[in-house]
Structure 1
Amino acid sequence: MIEWNGREFEGEDLRDEDFTEGELRDCKFVNCDFRHAEMKELQTHGCQFVGCDFSGALLNNSVHHNAAFVNCQFEAANLFVTELKGCKLTGSSFVEAVLTGVTIAGGDLSFVNLRSQDLKGQKLRGVRFVEADLYGCSLEKADLRDADLSRANLAHTKLSGADFRGAAMDGVPFENMDVRGAKLDMEQAVLFARAHGAKVD
């Protein structure tokens, strides 16, 4: 079982490493290849992954504390019941990734690609989604209170029952949103009305 502390890697091919049930602390990985890697039940603490490729990786039931996954690829990766606690995922892409049962507790998901992902019922209070691509996502009954959704793409998202109260939504194109059944605060309701041509004094 891998137990690494404070190690650094750059441009390494780590596809053959078995990270199952391993533990990584304060490690740094830059432009490393984790494609199809076995990473089930891995635990990371304060690690940095920059420009790494996790396409097809098996991250089922892994737990990540205050980790940074910056500009990483998770295409078709399996993150079933993965826990992301206070993590920074800026600029990462999750195209066709399995996110069923994932836990996102705080953190920064600005500029991420989460197109068409199912985030139904997720507790996303206070999470940063600045300029995130959430096109076509299911956010039904999600708790997005106090989140930062500035300039996020929410076109064609499913929002019934979602709670946006207190969330920053500057620059969000409300004209492309169907907010029926969603909970908005007064400021958001005014922005929505103006986006649809209403005059609000």
Structure 2
Amino acid sequence: MIEWNGREFEGEDLRDVDFTEGELRDCKFVNCDFRHAELKELQTHGCQFVGCDFSGGLFNNSVHHNSAFVNCQFQSANLFVTEFKGCKMTGSSFLEAVLTGVSITGGDFSYVNLRSQDLKGQKLRGVRFVEADLYGCLLEKADLRDADLSRANLAHAKVSGADFRGAAMDGVPFENLDVRGAKLDMEQAVLFAKAHGAKVD
């Protein structure tokens, strides 16, 4: 079982390394190749992954504490029941990834690509999604209270039952968002009304 502390790698091919049930603390990986790697039940603490490729990787039941995954690729990765606690995920892409049972506690998901992902019922309170691509996401009954959705792309997202109260939604194109059944605060309701041509005095 791998237990690395404070190690640094750049441009390394790590596809053959078995990280299953391993633990990484304060490690840094830059432009490393983790494609199809075994990362099941891995725990990371304060690690940095910059520009790494996790496409097809298996993250099942892994837990990440205050780690950063910046501009990383998770295409077709399996993140079943993965936990992200206070993580920085800015600029990463999750196209066609499996996010069933994913748990997100706080953190920064700004500029991420989560197009068409299923996040139904997720507790996403206080998470930063600034300019995130949430096009076509399933967000029914998701808790997005106090989240930062500034300029996020929510076009064609399904939000029935979602709770947006207290969330920053400046620049969200409400004209492309069906908010029927969603919970909005007064400021958000005004933004929605204005986007549909209403004059609010």
The TM-score bracket by the shorter chain reads: over 0.9
Shift of 1:189: 0.2
Shift of 1:115: 0.2
Distance in 1 between residues matched to 2:146 and 2:74, nearest whole Å? 27
| Counterpart in the other structure of 2:93 | 93
Shift of 1:169: 0.4
Shift of 1:142: 0.3
Q: TM-score, normalised by structure 2?
A: 1.00
Shift of 1:46: 0.2
| Counterpart in the other structure of 1:62 | 62
| Counterpart in the other structure of 1:183 | 183
Distance in 1 between residues matched to 2:152 and 2:69, nearest whole Å? 19
Unaligned runs of 5+ in 2: none
Shift of 1:84: 0.3
Shift of 1:68: 0.1
Shift of 1:138: 0.3
Distance in 2 between residues matched to 1:21 and 1:166, nearest whole Å? 38
Q: Deviations over 1:82-115 (max 9, x none)?
A: 0000000000000000000000000000000000
Shift of 1:160: 0.2
Q: Deviations over 1:24-50 (max 9, x none)?
A: 000000000000000100000000000
Over 2 Å off, 4+ runs: none
Shift of 1:66: 0.2
Secondary structure of the residue aligned to 2:108 is coil
Distance in 2 between residues matched to 1:25 and 1:125, nearest whole Å? 26
Equivalence map 1:137-156=2 (5 Å): 137-156=137-156
Percent identical among aligned pairs is 91
| Root mean square deviation, CA, Å | 0.2
Q: Deviations over 1:110-129 (max 9, x none)?
A: 00000000000000000000
Q: Deviations over 1:117-166 (max 9, x none)?
A: 00000000000000000000000000000000000000000000000000
Distance in 2 between residues matched to 1:131 and 1:99, nearest whole Å? 20
Shift of 1:65: 0.1
Distance in 2 between residues matched to 1:102 and 1:187, nearest whole Å? 30
Distance in 1 between residues matched to 2:139 and 2:119, nearest whole Å? 5
Distance in 2 between residues matched to 1:177 and 1:98, nearest whole Å? 24
Shift of 1:184: 0.2
Q: Deviations over 1:6-60 (max 9, x none)?
A: 0000000000000000000000000000000001000000000000000000000
Shift of 1:194: 0.5
| Counterpart in the other structure of 1:77 | 77
Equivalence map 1:90-169=2 (5 Å): 90-169=90-169
Shift of 1:179: 0.1
Distance in 1 between residues matched to 2:175 and 2:38, nearest whole Å? 43
Secondary structure of the residue aligned to 2:188 is helix
**How many residues are paired up?**
201
Distance in 2 between residues matched to 1:119 and 1:88, nearest whole Å? 18
Distance in 1 between residues matched to 2:28 and 2:136, nearest whole Å? 33
Secondary structure of the residue aligned to 1:121 is coil
Secondary structure of the residue aligned to 1:104 is strand
Q: TM-score, normalised by structure 1?
A: 1.00
Shift of 1:78: 0.3
Secondary structure of the residue aligned to 1:9 is strand
